[in-house]
């Protein structure tokens, strides 16, 4: 849920921050490459600002949601006895923090593999036989 809110907020931040230069974009002659280069040179931070702001919003929402997800993985680990979930939660948290420099997304993917391995290695409980009537 927090991740969805973060993505929506990032899109809204991007749209709100890009709106001041939208009229200039509409007036620009896109066939004139010199005019396009000059426009980009003048308004570089008007483009990069919203992109950086939206990206940081997504990263912060990833970190916040990861803290809650890690708590649930720790509870699952304690209840099932499978320590792989606990390790996956820690790796996911490390990946969320490192997602600022983009390498964290690969680490988050590795944590999903560990979660899948944890589910596959869980021991099933033996069914108790039902008394016959």
Convert the pLDDT of each residue in 56-95 to its tens digit: 888 888 899 999 999 999 999 999 989 999 999 999 999 9
Whole-number pLDDT of residue 58: 84
**What distances in angstroms separate CA 44 from CA 48, 69, 105, one per listed residue?**
6, 37, 27
Q: Which domain holds residue 99?
A: 2-120
Q: Within the chain, where are the H helices?
A: 2-18, 22-27, 33-42, 44-80, 84-98, 104-120
Query: Would residue 128 count as lying in a domain?
Result: no
pTM score, whole prediction: 0.69
Whole-number pLDDT of residue 25: 79
Query: Would residue 126 count as lying in a domain?
Result: no
Angle at Cα 69 formed by Cα 7 and Cα 88, nearest 5°?
115
Query: Would residue 78 count as lying in a domain?
Result: yes
Domain count, the chain: 1
Whole-number pLDDT of residue 20: 79
């Amino acid at each position: 849920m927090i991740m969805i809110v973060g993505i929506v907020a990032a899109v809204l931040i991007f749209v709100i921050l890009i709106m001041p230069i939208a009229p200039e974009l509409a007036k620009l002659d896109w066939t004139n490459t010199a005019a396009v280069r000059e426009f980009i040179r003048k308004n570089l931070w008007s483009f990069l600002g919203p992109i950086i702001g939206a990206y940081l919003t997504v990263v912060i929402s990833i970190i916040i949601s990861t803290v809650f997800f890690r708590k649930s993985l720790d509870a699952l680990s304690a209840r099932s006895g499978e320590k792989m979930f606990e390790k996956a939660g820690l790796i996911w948290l490390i990946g969320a923090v490192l997602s600022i420099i983009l390498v964290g997304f690969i680490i988050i993917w590795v944590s999903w593999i560990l979660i899948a391995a944890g589910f596959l290695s869980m021991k099933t409980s033996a069914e108790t036989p039902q008394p016959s009537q």
